[in-house]
Structure 1
């Protein structure tokens, strides 16, 4: 069998996913790809980032937003998390075989983990690995996370949206109790888990050389980068959704419904008991066609010379 092991030297998640897409085109029977990312949020192929993430906090802390091509929910990555990808032939590769390999690798480190029904791997009841899958005409791709020593305390800063009521047909993430492998073995490191996966892969498929790969400079990955890491592309692929809220202002109570398509407000509906009913037309006029974006709405509110409209816009900003 013709097999390969690639070890990423790059930590840009979008570049690494673009590199993974390139590896899917190579003529190997089995590939193991190991990669570690700088802080980022990775959402599934059919997810709505506005419903899954606090984009304002992410922008402030320079946490990258990335959309992968596989399904599943939103996850937080940092350098305490080791990502793995197993690529095999579509007709023969199975997730069961892949999970067995990962569990053997963890067992070799003295970690007794188990597979849960949601394609997660648990350690003492806590999720230490989430997994997602993608199929091409010829390949089966299984990639997952392994939380080794990740800073779990910051996850809620980025994975909890602040919007009041946001209705979307996009796939929602499933909340889970998460933990680190470090809780099961205090001295564990990314390098130890990485080597255990390499050893398990070689034991299963035969001696294979480990090849470093820098996906940031890899031409094939660079050509595909925007697909995973360009915010405009990510938002364009966001399913249509509506954001609704009711709030009492000094000038009256208002209920606002915003329909958003490809990251842009496409329709505005407003109901209010305000004495100046022109607020409905004015809000509809300025909001329709505006990017559903914290900065765009803040700038519009700042420039508004109409007190009632400015207060409405600033309230929308607080909900993003």
Structure 2
């Protein structure tokens, strides 16, 4: 179908999450027609939160930053993750029409299989060996390009992971799990021979095998091109956003993620609002936020706006569930 696919392999030499996320967004903007890029990168001592999450709720921000950690916010949805140089991050950036989740995942699965690990994809975004997860995935799309990215745990510091990340009681209850720690596993625990270097080589060779591409590896040096994006990702505003005091707070966990809706009203109009969420659909959450701003705090106004949103079938179902829940709150 797409015989003229062109490929690129790009590796970052920086361990700074703001640099690496800036490069990722730069590639998303610049990816060419019929091109797919495999971008490999690592962050040192970092917590990366999903696009719509509240950092204060997800991690011990103050303690983590006091211990030299960096907080970063990505474009994609989903939950908070801890990164150190014991894990390897991958991003497939592509012309949107080449997006093929099964093919992208098979690059990862083949790469770990070749290192003697029998893995499978599960549920919404996890890659498991047995019952335990070693990689979480997230997704983001623009008009003509998309990315699919994830972190692979090779030899990450599990103590830090459980020390700084806070997992909500509701989430643990809904998944029936004891703790963050019991459900994740380092690949090194399963096969002691695995290193980040070996995993990188294995990913690159399975990528080339599946996409038949050119094996030149490009290294990103600190480029001027990403200066503005770097400033965005490193800014307090992007990482923490506005957390004013809100008059009204509604929270509910759905099967697809949590919605934490915060509003201020002025004369019965929604004057300001923030929606925190770990739902994978990061753009939808932002669209809902934009639609509800400056409208009357009345159920019919809210439904009318929500039903205006242009979205996919599964997202229409999400909006329906949100409406039903709000009706029970607002009446």
**TM-score, structure 2 as length reference:** 0.66
1:276-287 to 2 correspondence within 5 Å?
none
Q: For structure 1, which runs of at least 5 residues remain unmatched after alignment?
A: 165-173, 245-258, 267-320
Equivalent residue for 2:217? Answer: 210
Q: Offset of 1:156 from its aligned partner?
A: 2.2
C-alpha change, 1:239 and 1:85, in structure 2 (3 Å) is farther
CA shift digits 1:18-76 (9 cap, x unpaired):
00111111316110000011110000001000110101211211110000000110000
Is contact 1:83-1:144 (8 Å) kept? Answer: yes
> 1:225 aligned to 2:221?
no
Classify the secondary structure of the residue corresponding to 1:155: helix
Classify the secondary structure of the residue corresponding to 2:22: helix
Q: Offset of 1:243 from its aligned partner?
A: 11
Q: Bigger radius of gyration, 1 or 2? A: 1
C-alpha change, 1:179 and 1:242, in structure 2 (3 Å) is farther
Match of 1:68 among 54, 57, 74: 74
**Structure having the larger proportion of residues in helix:** 2
Match of 1:198 among 188, 204, 214: 204
2:100 and 2:140 map into 1 onto residues whose CA distance is 12
Q: Which region of structure 1 is more displaced relative to structure 2, 198-207 or 127-136?
A: 198-207
4+ runs deviating over 4 angstroms: 237-244
Is contact 2:141-2:147 (8 Å) kept? Answer: yes
Equivalent residue for 1:130? Answer: 136
RMSD: 2.6
CA shift digits 1:179-199 (9 cap, x unpaired):
100011101100011001100
Equivalent residue for 1:250? Answer: none
Q: Offset of 1:218 from its aligned partner?
A: 1.3
Equivalent residue for 2:16? Answer: 12
Match of 2:166 among 160, 175, 196: 160
Equivalent residue for 2:91? Answer: 85
**TM-score, structure 1 as length reference:** 0.68
Q: Offset of 1:240 from its aligned partner?
A: 7.2
Match of 1:150 among 144, 149, 156: 156
Is contact 1:89-1:138 (8 Å) kept? Answer: yes
Equivalent residue for 1:256? Answer: none
C-alpha change, 1:73 and 1:2, in structure 2 (3 Å) is same
Q: Which region of structure 1 is more displaced relative to structure 2, 42-51 or 84-93?
A: 84-93
1:250-269 to 2 correspondence within 5 Å?
none
Q: For structure 2, which runs of at least 5 residues remain unmatched after alignment?
A: 170-178, 250-261, 265-271, 273-331
Is contact 1:52-1:159 (8 Å) kept? Answer: yes
1:179 and 1:44 map into 2 onto residues whose CA distance is 21
